[in-house]
Amino acid sequence: MITAPLPTSVALLLGLSFFLGLAFEEFFAHTDERRPGGIRTFPLLALAGGALYLFDPVRFIPFTAGLLVLGAWLVVYYSAHVNDHVGENKNSASAEVEDSDSNVGLVVPLLNVLAYMLGAAALALPPWVAVTITVAAVLLLTGRAQLHALARRVEIREIVTAGEFLILTGIVLPLLPDHPVTTLTAITPRQVWLALIVVCTFSYVSYLAQRYWAAAAHGLWMAALGGMYSSTVTTVVLARQAKADAARKRQAQAGITLATAIMYLRILAVVAIFNVELARILALPLCALSLGGFAICALQYWWGKSPQDAPAQSAMQPAVTGNPLELGAAAVFAALFVAVSIVSALAKSQFGISGIYGLAAIVGVTDIDPFVLNLAQGGVSGVPGVELAAAILIAASSNNILKAFYAASFGGGKATAGSAAALVLLAAAGVAIAVGMVLRPL
């Protein structure tokens, strides 16, 4: 017995296939060559695929037969298209006059098959599956020029590094034990590696944007992306630029403060992935500190603007120092994470919560991510969430003091004095909020 589909499913089928056909015709509108598919063909193919699926939604015999018929017809079309394409090349006076859109690619046949299968997908699967497939297909079709340009710009070593990371993520992570392997810490090897993946993902997105997105080198974009990558590295880079070029002083000072404002949001996002309850406690303090950083950044950028300042569109040096997915950097992070986890457990057992606060102040001079992730993943047991949140705020404040020292040192003191003062102010505010949370828990 044929089960009647929901009206919403049929409407989704028609809407998505119409959208796919519209994108298809718009993309090929500038060429005179006739191609199978379009704003009428794709909805008809989707309806046919959906109807044949409903005849036998268990064994898919009618649907498979229709797919074979469509495939056979597309083979005939593709063969004729290839022959015509070869003949045109032989008859043309120069290969350079060839239109790049008249190639013999498989895009047209694949889109016809996709339109046919979209009918069954819209009726049988959750709506988000059909929507995702259609949108992805349209983006891949219309973004051909941008994708090819990106492929030409990306270096082979970037692809190799990303491949290595995917192997370590998809193969190594599932094989790691999900139980403690030592009594020194409750953190498991899988938790260590998962923390590494999350942190590297945030940094990698910033790294790619700074390296391959032209707009990232102008204005305050580089500082904002640098805050996702490393606010400490960004502070050093901008302080040096302010010292080397007085015309960049205002922009560099605002960028240093902006990178720290983004750092607070980055900490909140990382914590939320592993510990929603701890993120809820931290949400208001971190967002307030971030808004304070944004306000100071706006004052630094717009107040005291003079004609001698560098234009906002001038290029700035990126804050990237290396690919965060490289195995060496990953190994260092993993080792540091384990070390911080062991030290945190020892500090808690020997000195109680005061030991955790002291350690939070110390780790600020290094990378605070391992410390924050260790607390978020339960590396220190028996500590209330408010006290964990206070420790994270102290670590971030300690890191701000370090960045204030870097800003003053690398900027020559006067060039970035405003940013150093802003970082100290944010650090003091973070400590004050932490003390208030501990003395009067939310």
pLDDT at position 147? 81
| Closest C-alpha among 343, 374, 348, 356 to residue 192 | 374
Q: Which has more confidence, 97 or 70?
A: 70
Average pLDDT of the segment spanning 81-90: 62
The yes-or-no verdict on residue 99 having pLDDT over 50 is no
pLDDT at position 216? 53
Name the band, by pLDDT with cuts 50, 70 and 90, for residue 309. low
Name the band, by pLDDT with cuts 50, 70 and 90, for residue 87. low
Average pLDDT of the segment spanning 181-206: 79
Q: Which has more confidence, 298 or 148?
A: 298
Provide the mean pLDDT of the chain: 81
The yes-or-no verdict on residue 218 having pLDDT over 70 is no
pLDDT, tens only, 137-191: 999 988 888 888 877 877 777 777 778 778 877 887 888 888 877 777 778 888 8
The yes-or-no verdict on residue 222 having pLDDT over 50 is yes
pLDDT, tens only, 41-56: 999 999 999 999 999 9
Distance CA 316, CA 62 (A): 61
The tokens 């589909």 sit on which residue? 5
Distance CA 87, CA 312 (A): 53
Distance CA 179, CA 192 (A): 11
pLDDT at position 11? 94
Q: Which has more confidence, 421 or 93?
A: 421
The tokens 């205002």 sit on which residue? 250
Name the band, by pLDDT with cuts 50, 70 and 90, for residue 324. low
* pTM of the predicted structure, to 2 decimals: 0.69
pLDDT, tens only, 12-65: 999 999 999 999 988 887 666 667 888 999 999 999 999 999 999 889 999 999
Average pLDDT of the segment spanning 283-290: 95
pLDDT at position 85? 60
- For the chain, give every domain's residue range: 7-91+101-151, 158-439
Distance CA 171, CA 416 (A): 46
Strongest mean pLDDT among 90-94, 163-167, 380-384: 380-384
pLDDT at position 310? 46
Name the band, by pLDDT with cuts 50, 70 and 90, for residue 393. very high
Q: How far is CA 406 from CA 292, 347, 410, 411, in A?
A: 21, 28, 6, 8
Strand pairing partners for 218?
315
| Closest C-alpha among 376, 436, 425 to residue 400 | 425
Average pLDDT of the segment spanning 419-434: 93
pLDDT at position 212? 67
Average pLDDT of the segment spanning 424-433: 94
CA angle at 311 for the pair 310 and 314, rounded to the nearest 5°: 90
Q: Which has more confidence, 285 or 221?
A: 285
